[in-house]
Structure 1
Amino acid sequence: MSRETFEDDVKNCNLELTHIEEGITDQTLQEIDRRFGQADVLSIENAKSHVRTLRLLALFGTLITLTFLIYDEWEMHLLIVDVILMIVLLIFIYKYADKHEFHKKYVQYRLLAESLRLQYYLSVAGIEKNVSELLPWFVEIGSTYWIKDMLRKLDIKTDVRKDILEYWIEDQYNYHHNANVRLKVKQKREKLITNILIAITVTTYFIALCFELYMTTVPSGELHHNMLQGILHTFQQHTIMLGYEPTDMIRATLKIIVGTMSAGTLFIGSYYGKMSLNDVIKDHRRMEELYYKFEIKAKNNNNVLSKKDILKLAQEYVIENSIWYAYQNKNEPDLTIE
């Protein structure tokens, strides 16, 4: 990526920009806020596209497995056409996301936005230090070099001063606290969905075991049940499972359920894994504790932080953003066909 890519995306973006603060009149702060709004909005939109891609890949990956199992076990031969079409669609979704760089833009624009947010805080704190000097070395190499270059060229001097305790520390503490609560709800929902899929899979295995044990008690080796015979007859009228006995129909159906649930667990697990909820929750918890620490330190010093403390807080801010970037950068979509 490059700054030219960012500027092109800005030109093509018709969304309302977000703001660090409303009603800014200082030109220096206006420019920092404007750049923040551009990076923030673009990061959010690309994040949505990235998550949508992950969901579609998980959905179609599971559907491909289900459709193939029905094709194989129920002998619905024409379903192989649907399988091929869904594989083509899956590849198209993956290639489309890769071409538009949703994931890369999401993480890099977020890195830029958070750096600009920090620069804004430092400027209104009266710290004339460019945030580019605090960024880790990896930002200077590879596809992120443009971020540091862009930050380095910012005008950061302003006469505007803000109460850092209220304006920065308490505000960010509340943000991370609320985000932590919100993400824990998502995490519970993730565990619930995963547990439901696992429960269905285990239950199906248990039903299969009970069925096979029952079949050992049937002298003829066949299951005589009028309802199942009726269902099988209906299926065979539609050229499904031709030549199957009721026992074969049940075994085939159990295989389809087990195979689909196993694939669903795999794909959904991959989706949630790339959301990195556990890591994000840990990040918010660490930041919450960090801001609480500096809040106490400020209150013990007449609500004032020294320049050294502010720079220490800024450095920790950069470290946490770098950690977030490091693990999120690994969460690009994968093309998996089971």
Structure 2
Amino acid sequence: MGEHGCERVLRMGVLGCADIALRRLLPVIAAHESARIVAVASRDSAKAALVSDRFGCSAVTGYQRLLDRDDIDAVYIPVPPGLHHEWVVRALEAGKHVLAEKPLCTAYEEAVDLMRLARRLGLVLAENFMFLHHSQHATVRSLVEDGTIGELQVFSSSFGVPPLDPASFRYRPDLGGGALLDVGVYPLRAAQLLLGPELEVRAATLRIDEATGVDVAGSVLLSTPDCVSAQLDFGFQHSYRCSYALWGSRGRISVDRAFTPPEQIKPLVRVQQQDRYTELAVAADHQVRNALGAFVDAVLSGAGGPLAEDETLLQARLVSDVRGAAKVALVKGHSRQRPTASGPRATAAGQ
């Protein structure tokens, strides 16, 4: 690890100049007291140079050249999901700890492979689901555990955005595109967080863009062993929605902007109990900084192996099971035309 005064500093490299990296992670890494951006790599030397100038780090042309450097301890990988397995393997084999953007992989078997490799090499590997690090979800779990809404019956969640840029990798099957892997994974991960590890997929639908071959919308029904159900919807053909709700025998809890709350706002957790309606303003929180901090702390503390391995593998299995269970319908490619109406920015992963 690098040294900064008397403190250890995690020296980080970034593989790729993806939008989410530029908007979210790189500014937070640059501001973190225990992390430093050493280099950013792109296959486009001009793009790498622009990003390096902005963040005061080295520019590297080509991902492998960055991994070959001995002044980097860990890498953040925001390349398209279809490239994750290859570059996470290469990074781990180069002795680097890895923070990989969600989803970790496009196939369950690939996720298992990466976990085994990270465990064998004693390197930290984390899937970057940033919303998990916002305190509002701990508030929700506490309310449920305290019996605020009685016995839980149904969990529901939606994450939909308007059509994206047609040139985006999200419309390319070979790069791991599609709504399930981009926005559908959020309701799935939230269901796991709030209902526990024994979820099973019971039914699913996927709407496939006939022009590109990627799924642009879908729904999933899951259940726990005692038949608490989870009803999930997601897609690229929707007005913006990003929410979840828990419905119990004595009330209901709902959360808007569940996966994308800006760090400056105090999210509202709404509780309905018969004729009583309560809005709880949760403290503002910075889920991006918290997610990075958890990774940095794990590496600097000497932790070896994957973080949240069981949860990450269950997530990958559920995605695989959704695909296996899904009833599929083709839709016309004109649905990818981007709307001109104003509204929340439609970015994949919405983070």
TM interval, shorter chain, is under 0.3
Q: State the structure with more CA Rg.
A: 1
Q: For CA contacts below 8 A with separation 6 or more, give which structure has more relative contact order.
A: 1
